Structure 1
Amino acid sequence: MNRKAPTGILGFPVAPLNNQGKLDEKALEANIQFLLDEGLEAIFIACGSGEFQSLNTKEYTAMLEVAISVVNRKVPVYTGVGGNLSTALEWARISEEKQADGYLILPPYLIEGEQEGLYNYLKAIIEHTNLNAIVYQRDNAILQLPTLEKLTELNQLVGLKDGYGNMELNIELTQSLRKRLGWLNGMPMAEVTMPAYAPIGFNSYSSAISNYVPHISRMFYNALLSHDQELLSELYQNIILPINDIRKQKKGYAVSLIKAGMEIIGLPVTDRVRPPIVSVDKEHYAQLEKILTQAFDQYPKSSKQVLS
C-alpha cells in the first residue's frame, strides 16, 4: 500500500444524469476517460462534484465500478465517504471491496461536534478499512492541530484537503506536521486560491474546470510553479475569474456549472442535476459559453501539457 496522497491536479467527475434523472454510466465513462487523456493525476469519484449527497448505494457502487474499470490502475482512484456514520462505514467497505486506492472523508451530516466528536467520527471511518484516507476540512468539520496530530497515529491517514480557507490554521497545520500528510487545496474554484496555498506546502488541488478546459488548468498550474506571473494574470483576467464570477451567482453552481461547461465543449453530459441543486440559468450558460469560446481561441488546445 502506497501511503501517500495524490499530488498535482485532481479530477473530480460529475454524476451525469439522463432524461429520466437516472445515472448515465456511458457519459460517466466519457467524463473519466477525458480526465485521464488530459493527464490528471488522480480520480475522485462520487464526491462533491459527483453529487455525493444525492446518491443511493446502488448508484454509488455503479459509479465506483465505472471508475475502477476505466482508470484500470493508471492513476489512483479515491471515493467520497462521509455524512451519516453508518453509511460512511458501509461505503468505505464498498470502496475497499471494489479495490479503490482510498477515500475522501466528507463532513458528518449536519451536526457540529466538539473536537473529540470529530476525532471519533473520523477515526471510526479511517480505521474501518486498510485504504488510504484523506480528511476534508470544511463546514462543520474543522480540525485543530491536536486533533489532527492524534489522527496521524493512524497509518491509513495520508492527507488533508482544505475547503475552509483559514490560512493561519493552514500554516499551523502544515508547518507542524509537514511531510507526514499530503496537503490538498479543496477551496471552491481552487485556482483562485492556489497561489496562497502552494508556498505553505499544498502541492495538489481539485480543479472543477478540468472537467471541460483541463488544458487551461494545466497551463495555470505550470505557470504557477514556474512563477510566470504574466501568464497567470492573463489566465485570471480572461478565464478563471470570469468563470468564478458566474459560479458565485447561485448556490449549487459549483456542481451544475461544471456540467454546463462539459455540455458546451461537446461531452455527453447535460447540466441536469438533482435537487436541491439547480441547473444553470440561460443567461449564465451563455456567459460561460462566451468565456469558453474565447479560451479556446486565445489558448488553443494543441497538446497535453503534463508536468514532468
Structure 2
Amino acid sequence: MSSMICGAMTALITPFRNGELDEATYADLIRRQIAHGMDAVVPVGTTGESATLSHDEHKRCIEIAVEVCRDSGVKVIAGAGSNATHEAIDIARHAQECGAHAILSVAPYYNKPSQEGLYQHYKAIAEAIEIPVMLYNVPGRTSVDIQPATVFRLFDEVENIYAIKEATGSMERAVDLLAARPELCLVSGDDAIDYPLLANGAKGVISVTANLLPDLKSKLVHTALAGDLAASKAINDSLYPINKAMFVESNPIPVKAAMYLAGLLPTLEYRLPLVPPSAENMKKIEAAIQNYTIPGVK
C-alpha cells in the first residue's frame, strides 16, 4: 500500500520513576531516536512493558510518541495488541484518533486461538480503523504462531494489513513468506538476524538494541536497503555482542539496565513481575556496552 511504513524502527522502552510513567524521560528518549536517523518508533510493544501498563498509561505513551514525532518525519507505529479483540480495537482506535501512522498488533497471547480465530481477530481490528496494520508474530511469548497461510489470507483480503513483524527467529519462515508474497512488508523482530533478513528482502527492522544505538541500527538498515549489503553485514556483525547481551534475560530487562548504565535513564525501574538483572548479568551488560560509543550521552 502507498502508506507503507518500514525502514529502521525502534521498539521503545517505557521509563518509570517512582512507579509511574516518566513522561519527560520518555519524550527525551524519543527525541534521541529522531536525532539519530530512525524512520519510526514503536511505543508500547513487548519492549515497552505493555503487559504491565494500565490502559490509560498505554494510551498516554502513544500520545507522547505522536506529540514528539509531529513534524519530524519520523512515524509512530503504536503497539495495539491484546488477547481480547475488543480491547485491541479500543487501543487501535485511540492510536488512530491521536495521530499514530500505523499499529503493531501482537498475536493474542495465552488463550491460544486457532488459525481461523487469528484471522477473525486481525480482520476485526483492521476493519475498525483506517490506518495501516502490522501483524506481530512472536510465538515464544504468545504460544500461538500466525502460520504463513493465515498471513497470506490476511494480506490478500484485508486492505490495510500491509506488514508482519516476524520474530520466530526462523530464516526459513522469512523465506517462505517473501517467496510467496514479495510485496509483503516483512520486518525483522530479532536483532541478531537483522542483516540476513534484510538481505533476503525484509523492508525494515523493529529493534531493541536501537534504544541504545540508534545511529548504528539506522545505518545498518539504510545501507542494506540502498543495496550495500557488505556494509550492512559489517555493522550487523559489529553489533552481535551487544545484541547478545540484550537478551541475557527476558527483554526489556537488559536493555533498560544498559540504558541506565549508559546514563540515558535517571532510574532503573521495572514493573513486577519484571525485576532488575542478576548481578552476574549486570556485569555482562556493563562489559558489553564498553565496546560501543553511545550517542547522546553527555
Report if TM-score (shorter chain) is over 0.5.
yes
Matching residue's letter, 2:274? I
Matches within 5 A, 1:155-166: 155-166=159-170
Question: Is 1:276–2:280 an aligned residue pair?
Answer: no
| Other-structure match for 2:137 | 137
More displaced stretch, 150-159 vs 194-203: 194-203
Residues 1:228 and 2:230 aligned together: yes
**Residues 177 and 233 from structure 1, CA distance in 2 versus in 1: closer, same or farther, beyond 3 angstroms?**
closer
- Alignment partner, residue 7 of structure 1: 6
Paired residues of 1:32 and 1:70 also in contact (CA < 8 A): yes
Which residue does the alignment assign to 2:200?
A: 200
Q: Tell me how far apart the structure 1 counterparts of residues 247 and 262 of structure 2 sit (CA, whole Å).
A: 21
Counterpart in the other structure of 1:306: none
Q: How many residues align?
A: 288
Partner amino acid for 1:149?
F
User: 1:86-144, CA deviations, whole angstroms, 9 ceiling, x for partnerless residues?
Assistant: 21111011111111111001121302222111101111111111111000112134233
The alignment status of 1:34 with 2:32, answered yes or no, reads yes
Report the counterpart of residue 150 of structure 1 in structure 2: 153
Aligned residue for 1:305? none
Question: Aligned to 2:264, which of 231, 255, 267?
Answer: 267
Instruction: Note the alpha carbon deviations across 1:251-282, whole angstroms, 9 max, x for none.
Output: x2x20211122222222343311122221233
CA displacement at 1:27 relative to structure 2:
0.7
In structure 1, list runs of 5 or more residues that go unmatched.
Answer: 303-308
Using the size of structure 1 for normalisation, the TM-score is 0.85
- 1:221, CA displacement in angstroms? 4.0
Unaligned runs of 5+ in 2: none
C-alpha separation between the residues in 2 aligned to 1:226 and 1:102? Answer: 28
Query: What is the correspondence of 1:88-103 to structure 2 with a 5 Å cutoff?
Result: 88-103=88-103
Inter-CA distance 234–148: structure 2 relative to 1 (3 Å threshold): closer
The equivalent of 1:171 in structure 2 is: 175
Distance in 2 (alpha carbons) for counterparts of 1:223 and 1:118: 35
Distance apart, 1:168 and its partner CA: 2.8
Tell whether 2:75 aligns with 1:72: no
Summarize deviations over 1:7-63 as a string: whole Å, max 9, x none. 221022211000x21100001001100100101000111111111111111101211
Residue 8 of structure 2: SS of its match in structure 1? Answer: strand
Distance in 2, matches of 1:99 and 1:276, equals: 32
| Cα RMSD after superposing both structures | 2.4
CA separation in 2, counterparts of 1:2 and 1:43? Answer: 19
| Equivalent pair of 1:257/1:271 in contact (CA under 8 Å) | no
1:168 is aligned with what amino acid? E
Give the corresponding residue for 2:16. Answer: 17
**SS of structure 2 residue aligned to 1:295:** coil
Distance 1:52 1:72, change over 3 A: same
Aligned counterparts of 2:169 and 2:207: Cα–Cα separation in 1: 16
Residues 1:228 and 1:150: Cα distance change in structure 2 (over 3 Å): closer
Cα displacement string for residues 132-179 of structure 1 (whole angstroms, at most 9, x for unaligned residues): 100011213423333222212211111111011333332222111111
* Equivalent residue for 2:41, pick from 43, 53, 59: 43
Once residues 117 and 124 of structure 1 are traced to their aligned partners in structure 2, the CA distance between those partners, rounded to angstroms, is 11
Indicate the residue corresponding to 2:108 in structure 1. Answer: 108
- 1:242: Cα distance to partner? 2.7
CA contact (8 A) 1:223 1:232 kept: no
Kept in 1, the 8 Å contact 2:80–2:92? The answer is yes
Letter paired with 1:38: H
Within 2, Cα distance between the matches of 1:235 and 1:119? 34
| Aligned twin of 2:285 | 288
Question: Percent of aligned pairs with the same residue?
Answer: 24
The amino acid that maps onto 2:196 is A
Deviation for aligned residue 1:184: 0.3
Q: How far apart are 1:223 and its partner, in Å?
A: 6.2
Q: Is the 8 A contact 2:107 2:146 kept in 1?
A: no
Match of 2:217 in 1: 217
